[in-house]
Structure 1
Amino acid sequence: MANDSSRLALIDALKAVASQFIVLHHLAFYGPMSDFTLKLWPTVVTWLSQDARIAVQVFLVISGFLSARSLAPHGVLRGRHPLRLVLSRYIKISLPYLAALLVAVVCTELARHWMRHDSLPNAPDLLQFVGHALLLQSVLGMDALSAGVWYVAIDFQLFTLFVAVLWLARRLGGGSNHVTAYAVMLLMAVLALVSLFYFNRNADWDNWALYFMGAYTLGAVTCWASLDGADRAWRWLMAVLVLATALALALDFRERIALALAVAVLLGAAQHGGWLKTFPRSRVLAYLGQISYSVFLLNFPIGLVVNAAFTRFAPADPVVQTVGVLLAWLACNLAGALFYHQVEHRLRRLG
């Protein structure tokens, strides 16, 4: 999610839309205001609270696509130091993430003064914060300090696994780019298939990268297969993955996987057709895509504060509380924009 895609209009637009659905999902799922909104818009709130979270698949596919584009545009790892790549990725995503966690802790304590609700995280201890800093909170079974932080850990796991695959393929290739690319094809295909047909069907694995590797691989292989002059073998691999994904859906239909496949096909068509950078032409979507990581990081704590304020100071009226939901949506985006310019952008340059 933290990849810089400001020059790719379609990716910015997808990130913009997906991030807004994540914000609305959190507002519908957490906090007391949405309980009142449910009375006015039961169908909308129910869908947002239960199903809108599949928008995270958009980020998984995009992450795989952009990682392939930057690290190995032709399937061969460009960097000589894989551990340095992993460390760079950690710094890039974790510095704004840690700053957002501090904001979340402060916001949670402020909200705790105004309301009591199940959505409020418990006050953290030092060990819990260290677990979050190391992106191990879900693996260690720690309570999350903020909703959605699991994705940051998964993104880092996926990136690390991807770099490991590219490094191993280069070792197996013995200096031949051709052999290395075929090794990448084989390894990525195996990971995608075991994810689609086994790991992604078992929720016990949802704290690990293998659960999400099907969507991530679709993004990466789409990037390689849709490049101008791409080896036919990449396109054959893409066709195999599309068919395998369709078979996996026939065996066990999952909306999240269907969405991942649709996003991958869209990105492939855009890159192959030459309109990945130019469509859609929208400054609003471009900007929302640019700040999407900051919005993602801050939307839960900001939403908690607005929920608490309306619980404490506003009447328990469905219309008033629904206005609170809409104001919270606006506040999440404004806070995300401020955080992007004052924190995330500066920390990325430092990293």
Structure 2
Amino acid sequence: MISKDSYIYIAGHRGMVGSAVWRALQNEGYTNLIGKTSAELDLRNQKAVNDFIVNEKPDIIIDAAAKVGGILANNDFPYQFLMENMQIQNNLIQAAHENNIEKFIFLGSSCIYPKLAPQPLKEEYLLTAPLEPTNEWYAIAKISGVKLCQAIRSQFGKDFVSLMPTNLYGPFDNFDLKSSHVLPAMLRKFHEAKENNNAAVTLWGSGKPMREFLHVDDMAQAVLFAVNNVLPDYLYNVGTGTDITINELATTIQNSVGHTGEIVWDKTKPDGTPRKLMNSDKLNKLGWKATYSLEDGINKTYSWFIENQNNIKKINLK
């Protein structure tokens, strides 16, 4: 049985998702949380990972560790995105299985679903059609992790479950314009334009594609829900169930930042997938639901950005 003094190892505890999970568990009264930096434990090293699990003997492993990046990074480094993500998750899953870890929670991404799958995306659409080519390397790695957890669950009856979030944002996000995702990139662009006498902000595409966004603290609550319950299936989507246009997102961020300049849409740049919305009914029916409105979540994220822009290395504002 899981209790408040159970030992919980959070792989990737310094990242946006891992740190949010750490905060949520702490706030809930879990007292034995385990975290190692990449310098302390290289998750790509099979022997190091297994030795660590043997020595620490955690009751639960939460895998929030991954090599991540945007379209450019996925395109430029396909081998690393496929190999390193498989190494990280395979080492953790194998060590968990061989050392009889009670519960394993694997975190992935909505990019595991086919590029042209019906909307909103349901769990059963997995592996029914081709992936989005711009991030297929990362997606294939994550699909293999989902399937490994499903195989262990099916063959050995262990409580291994996969949670697939929609687009996440919040504290400790990556705000580097070369590698960040759309929401943090916009937030930084509007902030810098505001500081520069409310200069115009140029954004890619038409602004018409629709996207869904989930605050990372809501994602952490979904992980907490999986910690506290034995979920009956192997795969769950984690999202808000609502989406907005990129244009609406830009306006919301602009208002939050207080930028009063012009927004210019560069329609020579690609739009990407027209729509990407997840169906989270399976997890909703069990008792988890997102609580943040997008406006509140963006306001909170911008406040964190302002407070931390000078001392959080990941923001990379230089």
Task: Give the TM-score taking structure 2 as reference length.
Answer: 0.30
Q: Normalized per residue, which structure has more helix?
A: 1
Choose between structure 1 and 2: higher strand proportion. 2
Higher gyration radius (CA): 1
Q: Which has the higher contact order (CA 8 A, sep 6+)?
A: 1
